[in-house]
Structure 1
């Protein structure tokens, strides 16, 4: 029985250390915001892709206008 109590006390102590570490990080560390810029090529916005890679489906969107010279 003393071994069980020793194990429980050790686990509680380790849990307390983890909790104290998390609390210290929340209290003392301030995040530094910075702007993030990511360029998106126009062909991706229009749904067109570079030459198709094997195994990928063709996109459903195109930049060609509807009702052109092609039939339905």
Structure 2
């Protein structure tokens, strides 16, 4: 029975340390927001690919700039 009480006290103590660490992070650390931007090449947006790249033999998407005829 004393080993069970010792185990419970140890677990409660470790839980308290974890709670205190989370509280300290919330209270003392202020995140700095910054703007993030990532360039996307136009060829990726339009579905074009380079043929000399590895994986350049992928099928081309069925994209046209003309309206469909409805047939």
Pick the aligned partner of 1:53 from 39, 47, 55: 55
Hey, what does 1:9 align to over in structure 2? 9
**TM-aligned CA deviation for residue 49 of structure 1:** 2.9
Point out 4+ residue stretches in structure 1 off by more than 2 angstroms: 47-52, 56-62, 64-67
Gaps of 5+ in 1: none
d(CA) in 1 for partners of 2:60 and 2:21? 48
Q: What RMSD in Å do the two structures reach over aligned CA positions?
A: 2.6
User: What's the TM-score once normalised by structure 2's chain length?
Assistant: 0.72
Q: In the alignment, is residue 18 of structure 1 matched against residue 8 of structure 2?
A: no
> Do the aligned partners of residues 59 and 3 (structure 1) sit closer, same or farther apart at CA in structure 2, a change above 3 Å counting?
farther
Count of paired positions: 66
d(CA) in 2 for partners of 1:8 and 1:57? 60
Gaps of 5+ in 2: none
Ranked by relative contact order (alpha carbons within 8 Å, sequence separation 6 or more), the top structure is 1
